Amino acid sequence: MNREAAFPKTVQRRLADAVAYRCSNPACRKPTIAAGEKAQETIRSGEAAHIYARSNGGPRAKAELSAEQRKDYTNGIWLCRICHRIVDGARHDYPGEKLQKWKQEAEEKARKEQRGEQEQSGEKDATREIYKIIGNLKIEITRYAAFAEDPKQWERVGTEYANAEEKAIKFLNERRVEIDREIAEKAEECKNLCRVVFVATNGARKSHPEHGEGLWYPAQIADATKKLEECTRELDTVCRKRLAEKPNQKREEEAGGPIFAQAGVKAGVSPILSNNYQEEYEL
């Protein structure tokens, strides 16, 4: 271990101050300092991490960096202890460029929060965008489950679902820092539940008579879609709260649910294997 390249106390303090003592990982953003239960006790869980290792054998090492460069503010990022261990343990998944981007975005977010700008139009636009992306993803997985009995439709609806899922993954990977943490976590949960429905539907599809003898699994699909419905309603609630928008009651009544209104899909009704699903849901 190169002790000469360890961050001085002043640099550690500056790194923490720059992000308001929050973890710089956009998927975490956990506060790293709080009052303890005992009088005058302070709980600290943050650490100054090296973007490029302080020794040549460390994570993301750059041999050309001097000891002075390695312990400079520009080579540091503030993380909670857990995220620090994750990024160093899975170093190939967290290259220096990615950590630099985290640092830049976390510092910018802290500046905006300090100025009271967390409700700026950029965040609202991003919130509306993920709201629509997840709504569309839910609609596509609903179509996929609905056509599980129709082999002629499998490839088409499967491709449409895959495209919608890719958009959700791309947004949450690249633009997560632009939206509120609670919304990001709920959107991630909805995306994962859509994948559960997809896997359950595939299990049913493979047991279709088209592929030979087997059993259908409508109960498993119905259970997964019920959880997805609950999750998307929760996402709708937190998005509306963040955007301070009131529901359009007429539009929702026509569609049967909040986040899926524009697509004409009735929320709250299981789509599983209904013979007249296409006509009933206007797909």
Residues 65 and 142 grouped into a single domain: no
Stated pTM of the model: 0.47
Domain count, the chain: 2
Domain co-membership, 160 together with 104 = no
Same domain, 132 and 266: yes
Q: Give the Å distances, CA to CA, from 86 to 62, 200, 273.
A: 19, 31, 43
Instruction: Specify the CATH number for the domain of residue 193.
Output: 1.20.120
Residues 196 and 99 in one domain: no
Tokens of 40: 């005058």
Q: Which of residues 83, 114, 145 is at a domain's end?
A: 114
Copy the structure tokens of residue 73.
């503010």
Q: Could you tell me the residue range of the domain that residue 237 belongs to?
A: 121-280
- Between the CA atoms of 106, 107, 109 and 112, what dihedral angle is there, to the nearest 10 degrees? 170
> In terms of domains, do 131 and 271 share one?
yes
Tokens standing for 22?
């929050």
Write the pLDDT tens digit of every residue in 235-259.
988 888 888 755 554 444 433 344 4
Verify that 47 and 149 share a domain, yes or no.
no
- Residue at a domain's end among 114, 149, 169: 114
Domain closes at, from 114, 129, 159: 114
- Quick: pLDDT tens for 86-104: 999 888 889 999 999 999 9
The Cα diameter of the chain in Å comes to 72
- Tell me, what DSSP letter sits at residue 166? H
**Domain shared by 250 and 203, yes or no:** yes
Do 110 and 165 lie in one domain? The reply is: no
Q: 274-283: per-residue pLDDT in tens?
A: 333 333 323 2
